[in-house]
Amino acid sequence: IAECAKEYPNAFIRVLGFDAKRQVQVAGFLVKKP
């Protein structure tokens, strides 16, 4: 996350979690706002 924030300082950064069996997103949250 820190490397991403350093590379893209004016971007929103989200972390997403996926269920590999059902192939759907099961979690997602914002970790940094510009």
Digit-coded pLDDT (tens) for 10-27: 999 999 999 999 999 999
Nearest CA-CA partner of 13 in 23, 30, 3, 2? 30
**Strand ranges (E), 1-34:** 13-19, 24-32
Q: Where in the sequence is the domain holding 15, given as residue range(s)?
A: 2-32
pLDDT interval class at 7 (50, 70, 90)? very high
Q: How far apart are CA 17 and CA 26, in angstroms?
A: 6
Confidence at residue 25, expressed as pLDDT on a 0 to 100 scale: 95
- Residue 34 has what pLDDT? 93
pTM of the model: 0.69
pLDDT at residue 31, rounded to an integer: 97
* Confidence bin at 6 (pLDDT 50/70/90): very high
Q: How many domains does the chain have?
A: 1
Amino acid, res. 4 = C
Cα 27 from Cα 33, distance rounded (Å)? 18
Structure token digits, residue 7:
């590379």
